[in-house]
């Protein structure tokens, strides 16, 4: 095993394709052995966090407004935010057009070059409905936003659930186990006397349940008929348990602790994505407003700053993503802060800027 500083190239690890049949057999074997793991990227908690960031970025205002920044459309901003939470990084190629700039999202890429980021170059794959092509471009011609990086691999963006891998795997496994429970067969078992049971007329006994058996077998109720234990005792209904004469349902029956653990793991996933749990629980309005304020002022603003810095460096001009529209809920609180600052002797314009009521000096 080579140390990180002895790696010669930055390309992601490539694996040879596994034959389809072998992959299916391996998956079935893992499920049978109970060793199959879920996919953290498919859990609802991660999508809830990614969707929250994506909608916030889509609603942001971009300043300055010019042909260069016009490429940062709502759809583009939403994709950047979603990729950062789910994948840990986003790459778009900067394409100069006659009227300005266009950003082309890149599906897959390799990064090559020296330790100095200014010397990086990218091998990008562009995908179309019926064609795709691979190109080599300079690092200055792409926007490469990263949620977080490891100092040993600064060219590789890490998502929240890559840092909190154990939590993501736990949440995914709980989702998989509940899915297996819910995806199993469901129906009822109805115990009935067997043909020729005591009380019949020997070889000439006409089973009165024959028609019922045929109707139930052909029906959609999925009720199965099983022999009642009373037939073996020859004592009729009095010799069998009362439950033996009632339909018994079978189907999903997860232990009570499993849904509870799933909820706890989902909240941990939200925490790893820096989303307060109060935004997705039955908290009162005051708690939810405070959770929103903490998220918007902290994680959302911080992630926006990372994106702004990368875009400004590649477009060679300062860019700001404004989230003023997300603050309508806190107008009363900001007005109270403004009043307190002005009452303490602060300049009105400066106080308004600090309270977020208007642009300060």
Neighbours of 87 (CB within 10 A): 17
SS3 133: strand
* Residue 218 half-sphere exposure toward CB, CA atoms < 13 A: 6
Q: Whose CA is closest to 55, among 289, 293, 296?
A: 296
- Give dist(CA 106, CA 231) in Å, integer: 70
pLDDT number for residue 336? 75
User: pLDDT by residue (tens digit) across 298-308?
Assistant: 999 999 999 99
pTM above 0.75, yes or no: no
**Residue position matching structure tokens 């115990």:** 191
Q: Whose CA is closest to 226, among 216, 218, 236?
A: 216
* pLDDT tens, N- to C-terminus, the chain (361 residues): 444 444 444 444 443 444 545 555 555 565 555 455 678 888 999 999 999 999 999 999 999 998 889 999 999 999 999 999 999 999 999 998 877 889 999 989 999 999 999 899 999 998 888 888 899 999 999 999 999 999 999 999 999 999 999 999 999 988 888 887 777 777 777 666 665 555 444 445 566 566 666 656 655 556 666 666 555 455 555 555 665 666 667 667 777 788 888 899 999 999 999 999 888 888 777 888 888 888 988 999 999 999 999 999 998 889 999 987 777 666 666 777 778 888 888 888 888 777 666 643 3
User: pLDDT by residue (tens digit) across 137-180?
Assistant: 999 999 999 999 999 999 999 999 999 999 999 999 888 888 87
How far is residue 312 from each of residues 120, 136, 316, measured CA to CA in Å? 18, 22, 5
Q: What is the mean pLDDT of the chain?
A: 79
By DSSP bridging, strand 121-127 and strand 108-112 are: antiparallel
């Amino acid at each position: 095993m080579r140390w990180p500083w002895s790696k010669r190239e930055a390309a992601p690890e490539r694996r040879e394709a596994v034959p389809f049949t072998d992959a299916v057999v391996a998956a079935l074997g893992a499920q049978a052995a109970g060793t199959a793991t879920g996919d953290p990227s498919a859990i609802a908690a991660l999508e809830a966090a990614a969707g929250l960031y994506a909608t916030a970025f889509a609603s942001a205002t971009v300043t300055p407004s010019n042909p260069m920044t016009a490429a940062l459309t709502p759809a583009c901003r939403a994709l950047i935010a979603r990729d950062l939470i789910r994948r840990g990084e986003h790459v778009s190629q900067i394409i100069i057009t006659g009227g300005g700039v266009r950003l082309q999202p890149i599906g897959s890429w390799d990064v090559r070059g020296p330790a100095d980021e200014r010397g990086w170059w990218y091998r990008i794959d562009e995908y179309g409905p019926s064609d795709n092509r691979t190109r080599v471009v300079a690092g200055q011609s792409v926007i490469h936003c990263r949620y977080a990086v490891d100092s040993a691999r600064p060219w590789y963006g890490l998502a929240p659930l890559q840092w909190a891998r154990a939590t993501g795997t736990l949440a995914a496994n709980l989702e998989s186990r509940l899915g297996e429970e819910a995806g199993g067969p469901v129906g009822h078992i109805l115990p009935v006397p067997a043909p020729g049971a005591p009380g019949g007329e020997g070889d000439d006994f006409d089973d009165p349940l024959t028609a019922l058996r045929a109707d139930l077998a052909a029906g959609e109720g999925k009720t199965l008929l099983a022999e009642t234990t009373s037939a073996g005792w020859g004592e009729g209904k009095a010799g069998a348990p009362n439950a033996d004469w009632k339909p018994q349902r079978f189907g999903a029956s997860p232990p009570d602790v499993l849904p509870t653990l799933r909820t706890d793991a989902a909240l941990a996933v939200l925490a790893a994505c820096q989303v307060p749990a109060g935004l997705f629980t039955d908290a009162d309005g005051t708690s939810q407003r405070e959770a929103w304020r903490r998220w918007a002022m902290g994680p959302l603003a911080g992630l926006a700053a990372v994106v702004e810095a990368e875009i400004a460096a590649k477009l060679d001009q300062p860019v700001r993503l404004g989230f003023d529209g997300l603050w309508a809920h806190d107008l009363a609180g900001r007005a109270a802060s403004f009043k307190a600052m002005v009452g303490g002797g602060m300049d009105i314009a400066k106080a308004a800027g600090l309270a977020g009521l208007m642009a300060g000096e």
